[in-house]
Amino acid sequence: MVRKSSTGKRDQLHITPKLVYCCNMISKEKNASESRLVWPAAVFIAALVVRLIVLLEFLANDPSFYLPQLDSDWYHLWALRIAGGELLPTTVFIGAPLYATVLGLFYAVSGGSLLFAKIISIIIASFSCVLLYKIAERIFGQSIARIAGIMLALYGTVLFYDTQILPPVLTVFLILCAIHLLLKFEERKQLIYLCLSGLAFGLSLITEPMTAAAIPFILLWLLRYAKIRKGVSYRVTRGGLFIVILLMPVILTSYHNYQVAKQVIPVSNDCGLKFYLGNNPVADGLARRMPEIPAENQMPWHDLVFVTDSIAKFETGEQLSPGEISSYWKSKAVSWISSDVGGFFALTAKKSYYFLAGYESSDGTGIYDYRSYSMLLSALAFDFGMKIPFGLIMPLAIVGVIVTRKRWKELLPLHAMIWPFAAIAIFFTVNASVRLPVVPFVIMLAAAAVHTIWSLSKARKLKTIAVPCLVGIVLLIILNLNLFSLGKTNPFQYHFSRAIGLESSADTEGAIAEYREALKYYPSDARCHTRLGHLFFSIGKIDEAETHFISALQSDPYSPSANSSLGKVYLRKGNPEIARIYINDAFVKGRELPEVLVTWAELMEGIGEADSAEMFYKQALDKSTSISFHANLLGNYYVKTDQIDSAYKYFGIAVRNNEDYVTARVNLANVKLALGDTTAAVNDYTSILETNPDLIQVCFNLAAVHFMQRRPHEARRYVERCLTINPTYQPALQLLQMLDGK
């Protein structure tokens, strides 16, 4: 096996002394000038096509495609604030900020389009495949580069995350950029490549801070093993320059945090909480679990930070600063470790296995559940005993470590991105998205193993590959077992996401059924109870709504949403004094939350304070990141107060901000009808039915309009359509009687 060196000569790939001769015999590369562009282009196109297919399948089949969940929702809302002009938060960063900033730029360009952001994400991911090809070509040669590039292009788990609103797509791109530029510096000795590599590493730190684990080993490679000038001063100055540039992004985030909190917090203040979530009496190494919050109470990261901040302040009885809160959770983790050393080592051993094992454990979004939305993803990521892809790639990568062990100094940048990262990750929680940044480098080692074993087997050097193959087979078995209860699926998030999608498309009955299905898996989930309560409230089942809101409050006593929702229930029941108690409690816990302001507005409506109600509705809209939702609420308020022109304005705002928000589209059409613009209303109703054919209210509205305009045949057609959807729908039955002259 051979590779091109910086001088243009061919160098042997010394895998082991026994393999040198065979590798030279069977690894003939094509002329570099012929394939310099062809193969990278082929890898890019293959990666882009498969990602685009999966994205389009999700678009067609996933009802929650436009409704990000959990951490995706947090990044989505953060990015919307950035796109709206709030470039920096008024608090310290909660989570690494670069991904939200880049996503905010996409939203600013596209008007907040999730589809646009996801398309750009898959383009970035496709370039990552090209970068992997170039790195593998530089280190191993073209044959292994081709295998590695195609592997990443078709890697099922990466495909899934590349279509989500989550940071791994940017993290992977940045670290591949950093390594590629570092190797360019080694080849060409030009400082610009070193500086750009340092910058890429620095940006990766404010996207995924755990990449810091690789930095000492990258620096060691620069100082000792890189093929650059040998002078100590030369290497030290280059290493120093690399570190200085690398730290610049971190210094910027630290400066912001110091400005708002007067404390030195390098990237974000959630490190202590993350450490505690991975090390506490109920931690399982996979999910975010802590004794203070029920295991089934899943929530976005921002909400979890908000709740745990409140818990820390309550348990200490003090108003803690962000840095003190992080230290509080870190100290609780250390306290548990010191009190249960055996439990800590057992948990760490489990997490080590989880990191290496083939099963793709979800962090809320079920990868295997989402296979039902994409035939292509189903073919590229599955668990039928063999866990494809990681259950195959990781054993091969370890074989790759064995067959390339003589080159460990040259391959140190690759190893630095895998093993130190893994060593840090297992002190937190381990899941598919956490280990995603190591996947490209694991793939390179796996590709080296595949190429070497294939080449040697063709050359009949079977004794040479016997031990590596035996190790690979043993690992293939072990890493595809579901040890330590690994592999237990929980479809909660799948049903919860479907419910939200159905709710958004006005399928109330379908949404209720999916929420109830989700509660079978997590019976005490506060978010699920709250949303289910809102649905029952919207259809007039107040007692059932009250039951679910109480369950939500019992599960999450710190929830402003549950308090404000109960306030709405008691307003509807005619108990404004009891309602005020819950609403006041909600206001204390979340006075800046739009939903709390909306509940205040409804309270003011209930006691006849129209001006105050309007003010609170407008404040909720001003503070909202869900502009369409709150603009629609304000429009509804104006309808109730007979301010039709104002209602038209705000329903229009809701639709312009989210053209897929069916409720606002229907309301806007209704207002157009009330204002006498019948043609526009009919066009809107017809357009809505094209994408939402089972909306019975829209069918009936069209039937009524045609009836009033003396178009009995058209009216009858829509009445019959209504009765096909619901044969007992009374308004349609009554209109049918009128059409029949009864």
- Spatial CA neighbour of 219 closest among 184, 249, 182: 182
For residues 243 and 222, what is the distance between their CA atoms, to the nearest angstrom? 11
- Spatial CA neighbour of 67 closest among 378, 363, 307, 365: 365
Residues 183/138, Cβ–Cβ less than 8 Å: yes
Question: Taking all residues of the chain, what is their mean pLDDT, rounded to a whole number?
Answer: 85
Local confidence band at 414 (pLDDT 50, 70, 90 cut-offs): very high
- Residue 489's pLDDT is what? 64
For residues 732 and 735, what is the distance between their CA atoms, to the nearest angstrom? 5
**Domain presence at residue 666:** no
At position 568, the amino acid (one-letter code) is K
Q: Mean pLDDT over residues 726-738, rounded?
A: 87
- Structural domain containing residue 289: 271-355
For residues 677 and 679, what is the distance between their CA atoms, to the nearest angstrom? 6
For residues 184 and 178, what is the distance between their CA atoms, to the nearest angstrom? 10
Looking at the structure, tell me whether residues 153 and 259 fall in a common domain: yes
- Residue 732's pLDDT is what? 87
Q: For the chain, give me the number of helices (H) and strands (E)?
A: 38, 4
Residue 669 has pLDDT above 70, yes or no: yes
Looking at the structure, tell me whether residues 321 and 348 fall in a common domain: yes
**Domain presence at residue 335:** yes
Count the Cβ atoms, other than its own, within 10 Å of residue 398. 21
User: What are residue 2's phi and psi, to 5 degrees?
Assistant: -130, 165
Find all residues with CB under 8 Å of 230, minimum gap 6, and list them. Answer: none
Residue 599 has pLDDT above 80, yes or no: no
Dump pLDDT digits (tens) for 112-168: 888 999 999 999 999 999 999 999 999 999 999 999 999 999 999 999 999 999 999
Looking at the structure, tell me whether residues 322 and 240 fall in a common domain: no
Q: How many Cα atoms occupy the beta-carbon half-sphere of 198 within 13 Å?
A: 20
* DSSP at 370: G
Please, is 518 exposed, middle or buried when counting C-beta atoms within 10 Å of its C-beta (0-12, 13-18, 19+)? buried
- Residue 573's pLDDT is what? 86
pTM confidence score: 0.75
**Domain presence at residue 190:** yes
- Residue 321's pLDDT is what? 87
User: What are residue 64's phi and psi, to 5 degrees?
Assistant: -105, 20
Local confidence band at 240 (pLDDT 50, 70, 90 cut-offs): very high
For residues 483 and 305, what is the distance between their CA atoms, to the nearest angstrom? 31
Which of 48-62, 184-198, 693-707 is least confident? 693-707
**Domain presence at residue 249:** yes
**Domain presence at residue 54:** yes
Dump pLDDT digits (tens) for 355-412: 999 888 876 667 888 888 899 999 998 888 788 999 999 999 999 999 999 989 999 9
For residues 585 and 565, what is the distance between their CA atoms, to the nearest angstrom? 11
* Percent above pLDDT 90 for the chain: 37
At position 179, the amino acid (one-letter code) is I
How many domains, in total, are found in the chain?
2
Looking at the structure, tell me whether residues 65 and 210 fall in a common domain: yes
- Spatial CA neighbour of 10 closest among 18, 445, 24, 22: 24
Looking at the structure, tell me whether residues 11 and 96 fall in a common domain: yes
Looking at the structure, tell me whether residues 16 and 90 fall in a common domain: yes
Q: Mean pLDDT over residues 585-590, rounded?
A: 68
For residues 251 and 249, what is the distance between their CA atoms, to the nearest angstrom? 5
274 vs 29 pLDDT, higher one: 274
Residues 425/210, Cβ–Cβ less than 8 Å: yes
Angle between helices 542-555 and 560-572 (to 10 degrees): 160
Tokens representing 422 are 């893994």
- Spatial CA neighbour of 137 closest among 248, 257, 38: 38
Q: Mean pLDDT over residues 639-649, rounded?
A: 90
- Residue 26's pLDDT is what? 43
- Residue 49's pLDDT is what? 96
Local confidence band at 317 (pLDDT 50, 70, 90 cut-offs): confident
For residues 719 and 623, what is the distance between their CA atoms, to the nearest angstrom? 42
- Residue 298's pLDDT is what? 64
For residues 437 and 439, what is the distance between their CA atoms, to the nearest angstrom? 6
- Residue 43's pLDDT is what? 96
Q: Mean pLDDT over residues 325-333, rounded?
A: 92
User: What are residue 491's phi and psi, to 5 degrees?
Assistant: -80, 15
Residue 430 has pLDDT above 70, yes or no: yes
Looking at the structure, tell me whether residues 216 and 87 fall in a common domain: yes
For residues 87 and 733, what is the distance between their CA atoms, to the nearest angstrom? 55
- Residue 380's pLDDT is what? 92
Q: Mean pLDDT over residues 329-343, rounded?
A: 93
SS3 269: coil
Which of residues 463, 485, 507 is at a domain's end?
A: 485
Looking at the structure, tell me whether residues 249 and 317 fall in a common domain: no
Count the Cβ atoms, other than its own, within 10 Å of residue 233. 8
**Domain presence at residue 413:** yes
The C-alpha angle with vertex 293 and arms to 292 and 295, in degrees rounded to 5, equals 125
Dump pLDDT digits (tens) for 176-216: 999 999 999 998 989 999 999 999 999 999 999 999 999 99
Looking at the structure, tell me whether residues 52 and 198 fall in a common domain: yes
Q: Mean pLDDT over residues 564-583, rounded?
A: 82
**Domain presence at residue 291:** yes
Count the Cβ atoms, other than its own, within 10 Å of residue 730. 8
In total, the chain counts a number of residues equal to: 742
Residue 432 has pLDDT above 90, yes or no: no
Which of 198-202, 524-528, 624-628 is least confident? 624-628
Which of residues 485, 509, 532 is at a domain's end?
A: 485
**Domain presence at residue 555:** no
Looking at the structure, tell me whether residues 289 and 433 fall in a common domain: no
| CA 180 centroid distance within chain | 26
Count the Cβ atoms, other than its own, within 10 Å of residue 305. 20
Looking at the structure, tell me whether residues 321 and 449 fall in a common domain: no
For residues 450 and 472, what is the distance between their CA atoms, to the nearest angstrom? 11
Local confidence band at 352 (pLDDT 50, 70, 90 cut-offs): very high
Residue 12 has pLDDT above 70, yes or no: no
Tokens representing 734 are 């009554």
Looking at the structure, tell me whether residues 282 and 153 fall in a common domain: no
- Residue 396's pLDDT is what? 95
Residue 666 has pLDDT above 50, yes or no: yes
Which of residues 485, 504, 532 is at a domain's end?
A: 485
- Residue 365's pLDDT is what? 64
- Residue 180's pLDDT is what? 96
